[in-house]
Amino acid sequence: MSAPTWTLQCSACGTPAPLEKASVCPACHQPLFATYAPVPAGTALGNRWDMWRYAPFLPLLEGEAPVSLGEGLTPLIESPALAAAAGVRRLWIKDEAQNPTGSFKARGMSAAVTRARGAQVPGIVVPTAGNAGAALAAYGAAAGIPVRVYAPGTTPRPILDTIDAMGAELIRIDGHIGDAGKLAIAFAAESGYFPISTLREPYRVEGMKTMGFEIVEQLGWRVPDVVVYPTGGGEGTVGIWKAINELVASGWLPGETRQPRYLVAQAAGCAPIARAFAAGAEKADPWVDPVTHAAGLRVPSPLGDRLLLRVMRETDGLAGTASEEAIREWTRTLAVQTGIDAAPEGGCGLSVLRDAVASGLVKGDAEVVLFNTGSGASYRV
């Protein structure tokens, strides 16, 4: 195998970090980013029909086989009916439910478990609001690496059943994902297992950024006006932003290309990013008593808050919230109008988009990509 084609440095202060078993920045404790030499425009993309088609932009050694279950290359489905309902000119749904284990989390775990396997870790541990645990259980099984998952007991039963089915050690807890995170970190310290929670290591976001590559290519190598992303930990939005920056830097997109406006959608019962953004804060205070049936949004204290808020402000971004009733209503609208079995997170995004249009924050002539981050089936008992 050849030498790595990437380096790691802090996303905030630029401090370099080792490539394997990397966590947050050793100097300021902010998330690390992988940095690559520019990939010349026109470089041949891979023949694979999964996210590793974009291998020149990903942390993969030459000759190394990724830990893959066929993740990525999900459909981008245009819906004139939903565009009319939301009040925009064109609207596409990026349906991440069609990933292995039924959510966008498969992308990040494919990349992170590939690098964990390369580092020969004895095991991997993660706290989860649901889908990340199911994804890690599957990719750990594919890599032959033991997995422990800490999950709130309120996590939807089908997701917990998936974790069990993949042979991971599942620890159900009382409390929320923040409580699970403390237990996961403590277990990692005593066991040697590698902790792999959102933006606490640098490679999950590398898998997530393939969503950015895909929407640009699917739209004919251009960016939409607005990207609506239901947000818990924030790695999806950060990943798409990172991908578009890399495409511009490498000449795949014109230098004058502007980032989309990122519309962060959160549940009204757990909205630390939306609250911080509205207050003009640089970081988000923890949300006390997070409550929402959209389990993926039940993240009261995201580690990547500073980075996500920075991304939103750099791109003229927006944030909004939806009530539990609105999430249910718009999830059903999304499903009935399109045939997509949407998770409540997707319904939250659609509700927040409609409110943003109604208030004039998003123009009616906008072209919008809305992410349905997971499968509705994962929430049905």
- CA torsion sign for 346, 213, 356, 78 is negative
pLDDT of residue 2: 60
CB 205 within 8 A of CB 199: yes
pLDDT of residue 1: 46
Instruction: Report the interhelical angle of 305-314 vs 235-249 (nearest 10°).
Output: 50
Q: Which of 291, 122, 106, 294 is nearest to 207 (CA)?
A: 106
CB 129 within 8 A of CB 234: no
Q: Which of 361, 378, 309, 381 is nearest to 86 (CA)?
A: 361
Count CB neighbours of 256 within 10 A.
Answer: 6
Instruction: Report the interhelical angle of 235-249 vs 210-218 (nearest 10°).
Output: 60
What is the Cα–Cα distance from 374 to 95, expressed in whole angstroms?
8
What is the Cα–Cα distance from 311 to 261, expressed in whole angstroms?
10
What is the Cα–Cα distance from 147 to 286, expressed in whole angstroms?
28
**In the chain, which residues have pLDDT < 70?**
1-2
